[in-house]
A and B are shown apart, each in its own frame.
Chain A
């Protein structure tokens, strides 16, 4: 394999051939696609979005289309050349003619092979380029809104950013392959016209009708197939869910009941599979009957012309060859291109919907001149109280302040600190100020450069311990100090150890300590920690509480927790009343 530089397993005969259009290893600049004024929701339909996306890669797809035409017309010409060879060489016994037609055949194969190869590579490139661009668009607009504060995208965004983008991007193929196939059908019709006008006319009228008829069958089938695939996905999802809860099921001895539930879902899927197979059968019968009788009719007519003397034997064989070449073209359009179009359109609608849903909220003031706050600002959190004027938690620069509240109130306070621009319910009523300026008056970049919030349910990302702890490019000494302060020494002796997907190679307690180390390493002027040690045993928690203060010296920290050990390490502790409990229970 070492002797084959491209790594494609080629033997000594072919390894010297160049590999055309290998993708550059570095990502191309991912220019987001101009999606237009979709915020208003006017004008852009799924179809138009699909068109716009498809034509954004026309510099690659148009050459691919031209090459595909060469390829498909070449494929259709093979039976013609064969027919001519039988007629001119075999029927006459002329060896010179045989050599001539074999040369023509080989030239034809070389041309169509090269054209097919280049066209396929260009098509693949166009599809991947479009996928990459669309993903970039969604990534910045929905998943990682740099300057924004859009609401948390739900789990569906994962499938939109993988499956739907892939399906939408496959629409690029529609401007390449079907166009070339239609051109090939045109070529066949023209050749038949040259043989006999009536045969050509039959194909010109009959082929579109056959495509349309088969398309009708095919659309039903592809609709049902997607439904069935949904069923399979649901069954597989249930299996995953059950096995993910393996320890819980074993813990309460619910194996039999869980198996019974899975069997029920599996049997429903089986019913779906049976129905889908029935529809597949109908499609196959329909397509076979339509195309078979059509081809038989054309061939019969050609046969009659041959008997009648209007057509030579050679003409008859050519006509038969051409008609044979017609079949795969019609079938491919009906069974591949039409489902592709249907799927791409549905996915386009879903992508557009996600973009619309998430692109509505913008963070910070729209118009006002950008406001700035001091490098080490004082933080105020104003929590309303149903019965009174509310409580203000103030953190002076350099202070370590604890906040004790019930879970719900604590969650609201942290939500508000995480996203002070939120118009939703989550942090409602809680106001955040930096140096007296309301956070919603600040741009999100300005706010986040001062305030770092470590939520309770904190996530680790695939990569090494160091990648996770040094999230915001912290210097090595600071990372080491943070790892020590968060009591990670027992498992984090080597920071280049990988943590697994979402940190799944670490235990819950270890994950929580790595997350704390990341927060401490961030060196933010204002750091908010929410219940950072719930999965840590009391001895370790005590040690962490002792080290916290030293590491945050000179910077402000707000600790939202009810862990006594942590609160004991604070300069001050503020008790928050329960914002949700009505006034009656308050004294």
Chain B
């Protein structure tokens, strides 16, 4: 039975990628214990209070049993009844209050620990060596910092009462049962195997079915999201009906999986009912025998019956929550797996010291057992110079940039780089927040004046006139939409504010519409002014203005020199340049009204 296959698109696609580590059971326990530091006294007090409160709850059944015996003996009067009633009411009030305080204290400690953990998770995630994350894919990190955090937070209302009150209730009630007459407790213990079997079956079946349900749900959400994001495409290509069918197929897929999950719950219910029936039967039979032998009173049997009846609820609750507990633990170990990655794990040692220059000596690089992407690269980039890297797709340009930036440690050879390097890639991300928030990310101390100057230098100051709130305009997810060109201008302004020694621009302006090319080219020049720069560009106009050009082919440097020199040499670069020129130089009959 392959339940998960019902969710196309969410199949374990990343198989083969070395994911981020997952903490083992003992590691998770150790780290959780360390996280409780500062909350331990509170947790101990919570435990004691929990036991006392559930103990108080035992007064009611005991009082009823006492009353039954007195009535049967004919020794009860109004005072007895009043005493019993007041005792029951008091125990209800005290028990409820104690339980409530226990749960509140436990919940607060739980969330405080979770907050510490999630903050350390995000902090560690961002400081991990980048090549580790690149290899695992950022998707893994996103799911740990979102899905797993949510799973642990959402488990709180189910898990906390179980860890405090429910478990204590079971223990205390069993103790109470034994206090009435030990055979009652023994009778209940006989039924335990039924519960054990039910739990074993549930742990084997439940998580699998729930996983399939969640996978179906995320497949469905993904279909809806894609239709929303691709609305223009759906419209333009007339794909509405096709997309509707895709969404509805996955919608019914969830229905099928959800009903399977409900089936599993009903089956668990059936097993729990069997356990209940056997427990009650056991109490009645044991009570019958004990009374027959004069070893117990009818009142004692009543107390035992009431204790068993109030035991059944918590036992059922415990079994129902076990899978939530299990999946919360799984999420916890995934979070802790990231937090406990040692600080110096594979952190590429960056021999700087060469002032603000870049120096590569016989550098080679390959991705995990793949072919050589960089082969014997030796390169000097003196401080203040601008170098362009040119080559066809797959020549290794981006890898070279990543090695120089220190994202990937070289396989062989040495890399020296200045202390402060900034990189912009083709991937532009606008953070949810104001325009100011987006820019001060790189320079928290920057004043509004500096921010405006940076925007001005990158030609993005017009952005502020177009957006309603100026620097306070909320952009990014759910905010004011920016065009690709505006997002790139923002990214360039951010680098300007970060003020690095070396700026690496990896196809930083490729995604924007071509009409903005010139403006972005000017912005790039503004960013590079007064610092070393490495530019990887599709548009040769960007390369032409650099001090030096390197042509990369299959991971090797095939040509290097100034623009004029390379064009004159008539090699590969000259060929690319003539193709580019041809495109630029064509003239068209222009009709305008």
Residue of B nearest to A116 (CB): B269
Contact between A538 and B576, CB atoms less than 8 A apart: yes
B99, CB-defined interface residue at 8 Å: yes
Contact between B138 and A535, CB atoms less than 8 A apart: no
A57, CB-defined interface residue at 8 Å: no
- Given A295-B92, A303-B81, verify A144-B247 contact (CB < 8 Å): yes
**In the complex, A505→B495 CA distance in Å?**
28
Shortest distance in angstroms between B490's beta carbon and chain A's nearest beta carbon? 10
**In the complex, A280→B160 CA distance in Å?**
12
**In the complex, A568→B246 CA distance in Å?**
39
Binding-face segment, B172-180, B318-326, B422-430:
B422-430
A367, CB-defined interface residue at 8 Å: no
Which residues 416-435 of B have a CB within 8 angstroms of A?
Answer: 420-429, 431-432
Which residues 138-197 of A have a CB within 8 angstroms of B?
Answer: 139-140, 143-146, 149, 152-155, 157-158, 161-162
Contact between A263 and B119, CB atoms less than 8 A apart: yes
**In the complex, A572→B484 CA distance in Å?**
28
B538, CB-defined interface residue at 8 Å: yes
Q: Which chain A positions have C-beta within 8 A of B407?
A: 250
Q: Which chain A positions have C-beta within 8 A of B512?
A: 534
**In the complex, A116→B583 CA distance in Å?**
74
B224, CB-defined interface residue at 8 Å: yes
Please report whether the interface of chain A is mostly helix, strand, loop or mixed according to DSSP. Answer: helix
Contact between B96 and A538, CB atoms less than 8 A apart: no
**In the complex, A501→B10 CA distance in Å?**
8
Contact between A23 and B256, CB atoms less than 8 A apart: yes
Q: Which chain B positions have C-beta within 8 A of A266?
A: 115, 118-119, 122
Which residues 450-508 of A have a CB within 8 angstroms of B?
Answer: 452-463, 471-472, 490, 498, 500-502, 504-505, 508
What sequence of 0s and 1s flags, for each residue 98-136 of chain A, a beta carbon within 8 Å of any chain B beta carbon?
Answer: 100110011001001100110011011100110110011
A449, CB-defined interface residue at 8 Å: yes
**In the complex, A462→B229 CA distance in Å?**
12
How many chain A residues sit at the interface, stated as a range, is 35 or more
Contact between A287 and B247, CB atoms less than 8 A apart: no
Q: Which of B78, B118, B149, B244 contacts A307 (CB 8 A)?
A: B78
Contact between A249 and B441, CB atoms less than 8 A apart: yes
Q: Which chain A positions have C-beta within 8 A of B119?
A: 259, 262-263, 266
Residue of B nearest to A291 (CB): B92
User: Which of B97, B145, B220, B241 has its CB near the most chain A CB atoms (within 10 A)?
Assistant: B145
Q: Which chain A positions have C-beta within 8 A of B427?
A: 247-248, 508
What sequence of 0s and 1s flags, for each residue 192-207 of chain A, a beta carbon within 8 Å of any chain B beta carbon?
Answer: 0000000000000000
- Given A307-B77, A534-B511, verify A136-B248 contact (CB < 8 Å): yes
Binding-face segment, A87-95, A344-352, A431-439:
A87-95
**In the complex, A281→B100 CA distance in Å?**
5
Q: Which chain B positions have C-beta within 8 A of A563?
A: 514, 583
**In the complex, A8→B1 CA distance in Å?**
9
- Given A27-B248, A389-B593, A461-B246, verify A285-B513 contact (CB < 8 Å): no
Contact between B244 and A146, CB atoms less than 8 A apart: yes
- Given A27-B252, A564-B583, verify A277-B236 contact (CB < 8 Å): no
A274, CB-defined interface residue at 8 Å: yes
Contact between A287 and B118, CB atoms less than 8 A apart: no
B108, CB-defined interface residue at 8 Å: yes
A226, CB-defined interface residue at 8 Å: no
- Given A139-B248, A289-B92, verify A241-B432 contact (CB < 8 Å): yes
Binding-face segment, A39-47, A370-378, A405-413, A548-556:
A405-413
Q: Which chain A positions have C-beta within 8 A of B130?
A: 247, 250
**In the complex, A124→B64 CA distance in Å?**
40
What sequence of 0s and 1s flags, for each residue 85-123 of chain B, a beta carbon within 8 Å of any chain A beta carbon?
Answer: 100110111011101110110011001100100110011
Binding-face segment, B66-74, B341-349, B372-380, B553-561:
B66-74
Which residues 229-251 of A have a CB within 8 angstroms of B?
Answer: 232-233, 235-251
Shortest distance in angstroms between B132's beta carbon and chain A's nearest beta carbon? 12
Please report whether the interface of chain B is mostly helix, strand, loop or mixed according to DSSP. Answer: helix
Binding-face segment, B22-30, B38-46, B301-309, B359-367:
B301-309
Q: Which chain A positions have C-beta within 8 A of B302?
A: 86, 317, 320
What sequence of 0s and 1s flags, for each residue 382-423 of chain B, a beta carbon within 8 Å of any chain A beta carbon?
Answer: 000000000011100000000001010000000000001111
Contact between B586 and A567, CB atoms less than 8 A apart: yes
Q: Which of A9, A240, A247, A502 contacts B201 (CB 8 A)?
A: A9
B239, CB-defined interface residue at 8 Å: yes
Contact between B288 and A90, CB atoms less than 8 A apart: yes
B255, CB-defined interface residue at 8 Å: yes
**In the complex, A576→B515 CA distance in Å?**
12
Contact between A153 and B510, CB atoms less than 8 A apart: no
How many chain B residues sit at the interface, stated as a range, is 35 or more
Shortest distance in angstroms between A459's beta carbon and chain B's nearest beta carbon? 3
- Given A93-B288, A101-B284, verify A538-B491 contact (CB < 8 Å): no
A61, CB-defined interface residue at 8 Å: no
**In the complex, A262→B123 CA distance in Å?**
9
B190, CB-defined interface residue at 8 Å: no
- Given A79-B309, A113-B269, A534-B510, verify A297-B285 contact (CB < 8 Å): no
- Given A22-B259, A266-B115, A273-B107, verify A90-B514 contact (CB < 8 Å): no
Binding-face segment, B181-189, B270-278, B452-460:
B270-278
Q: Which chain A positions have C-beta within 8 A of B118?
A: 235, 239, 266
**In the complex, A321→B303 CA distance in Å?**
11
A575, CB-defined interface residue at 8 Å: yes
Contact between A564 and B584, CB atoms less than 8 A apart: yes
Which residues 148-170 of B have a CB within 8 angstroms of A?
Answer: 149-150, 153-154, 157
What sequence of 0s and 1s flags, for each residue 1-22 of chain B, a beta carbon within 8 Å of any chain A beta carbon?
Answer: 1010000110001000000000
**In the complex, A466→B422 CA distance in Å?**
39
Contact between B9 and A162, CB atoms less than 8 A apart: no
Contact between B150 and A232, CB atoms less than 8 A apart: yes
Contact between B97 and A288, CB atoms less than 8 A apart: yes
Q: Which chain B positions have C-beta within 8 A of A385?
A: 593
Contact between A121 and B81, CB atoms less than 8 A apart: no
Shortest distance in angstroms between A515's beta carbon and chain B's nearest beta carbon? 8
Residue of A nearest to B130 (CB): A250
A539, CB-defined interface residue at 8 Å: yes
Which residues 1-42 of A have a CB within 8 angstroms of B?
Answer: 1, 7-11, 14, 19, 21-28, 30
Shortest distance in angstroms between A493's beta carbon and chain B's nearest beta carbon? 15
Q: Which chain B positions have C-beta within 8 A of A502?
A: 222, 225-226, 229-230
Contact between B262 and A120, CB atoms less than 8 A apart: yes
A254, CB-defined interface residue at 8 Å: yes
Q: Which chain B positions have C-beta within 8 A of A341?
A: none
User: Which of B96, B238, B244, B538 has its CB near the most chain A CB atoms (within 10 A)?
Assistant: B238
Q: Which chain A positions have C-beta within 8 A of B477?
A: 155, 237, 241
Contact between B513 and A456, CB atoms less than 8 A apart: yes
Q: Which chain A positions have C-beta within 8 A of B138?
A: 243-244, 246-247
Shortest distance in angstroms between B295's beta carbon and chain A's nearest beta carbon? 12
Residue of B nearest to A269 (CB): B115
Which residues 426-449 of A have a CB within 8 angstroms of B?
Answer: 448-449
Contact between B423 and A273, CB atoms less than 8 A apart: no
Q: Which chain B positions have C-beta within 8 A of A24?
A: 256
Contact between A538 and B583, CB atoms less than 8 A apart: yes
A540, CB-defined interface residue at 8 Å: yes
B544, CB-defined interface residue at 8 Å: no
B313, CB-defined interface residue at 8 Å: yes
Contact between B494 and A252, CB atoms less than 8 A apart: yes
Shortest distance in angstroms between A111's beta carbon and chain B's nearest beta carbon? 11
Residue of B nearest to A415 (CB): B232
* Further pairs besides A109-B274, A266-B122, A542-B579: 13, Cβ < 8 Å: A8-B263, A27-B252, A135-B247, A144-B241, A239-B118, A246-B125, A261-B441, A291-B92, A296-B88, A316-B68, A534-B511, A537-B538, A562-B517
- Pairs across A and B, CB under 8 Å, 15 listed: A28-B252, A155-B477, A248-B428, A252-B422, A252-B498, A253-B498, A297-B85, A320-B306, A410-B513, A453-B237, A502-B230, A535-B426, A563-B583, A564-B583, A564-B585
Closest 4 CB pairs of A and B: A288-B96, A292-B92, A459-B230, A300-B85
